[in-house]
Copies of this chain bind each other. A is one copy, B any other.
Amino acid sequence: MIKIGIIGVGTVGESVANILENNSDIIEARAGKKIVVKHGVVNNINKKRNVNISISNSADDILDDSEIDIVVELMGGVEEPYKIVKKALSNGKSVVTANKALLAYHRYELQELAGHIPFSYEASTAGGIPIIGALRNGLSANHIESIMGIMNGTTNYMLTKMINEGALYDDILKESQELGYAEADPTFDVGGFDASHKLLILASIAYGIDAKPEDILIEGIENISDIDVDFAKEFGYEIKLLGIAKKIGNGVELRVHPTMIPQSSMIAKVDGVMNAVSVVGDCVGETMYYGAGAGGDATASAVISDIIDIVRGNNAPMLGYNKPLESGLELLSSDEIISKYYLRLEVSDESGVLASISSALGELNISIETMLQKTSSTPNRANLLLSTHLSKEKDINNAISKLSKLSSVYGDIAMIRIEA
Measured CB to CB, the residues of A under 8 A from B are: 15, 19, 23, 25-32, 122, 128-130, 133-134, 137-143, 266, 269-270, 281-292, 295, 297-298, 300-305, 308-309, 312-317, 320-327
Contacts and interface: CB of A to CB of B under 8 A. Distances in A.
Contacts of A303: 141
A284 B298 contact: yes
16 contacts: A26-B325, A29-B325, A30-B320, A32-B317, A122-B138, A133-B134, A141-B305, A266-B270, A266-B290, A284-B302, A285-B298, A286-B292, A287-B290, A313-B313, A313-B316, A314-B314
Contacts of A302: 138, 284
Nearest to A270: B266
A304 B141 contact: yes
B137 A301 contact: no
A19 to B, nearest CB: 5
Closest 3 pairs (CB-CB, A-B): A130-B138, A141-B304, A287-B291
Given A28-B323, A284-B297, 19 more contacts: A23-B143, A26-B325, A26-B326, A29-B325, A29-B326, A30-B325, A128-B285, A130-B134, A130-B138, A130-B287, A141-B305, A266-B269, A266-B270, A283-B301, A287-B290, A312-B315, A313-B315, A314-B314, A314-B316
Contacts of A129: 138, 287
A309 B137 contact: yes
A305 B137 contact: yes
Nearest to A31: B140
A301 B317 contact: no
Contacts of A29: 321-326
A288 B290 contact: yes
B140 A308 contact: yes
B315 A140 contact: no
B133 A301 contact: no
A311 B300 CA distance: 29
A29 B207 CA distance: 11
Contacts of A288: 288-291
Contacts of A19: 141, 283
Given A29-B322, A130-B139, A291 B300 contact: no
Contacts of A289: 287-290
A295 B130 CA distance: 24
B140 A30 contact: yes
Contacts of A15: 283
A137 B311 CA distance: 12
Nearest to A325: B29
A273 to B, nearest CB: 11
Contacts of A327: 25
The CB with the most chain B CB atoms within 10 A, among A27, A138, A143, A297, is that of A138
Contacts of A31: 140
Contact of A23 (B141, B290, B292, B297): B141
A246 to B, nearest CB: 17
Contacts of A290: 266, 286-290
A191 B191 CA distance: 50
Contacts of A316: 309, 312-314
A327 B24 CA distance: 13
A301 B143 contact: no
A128 B134 CA distance: 11
A31 B137 CA distance: 10
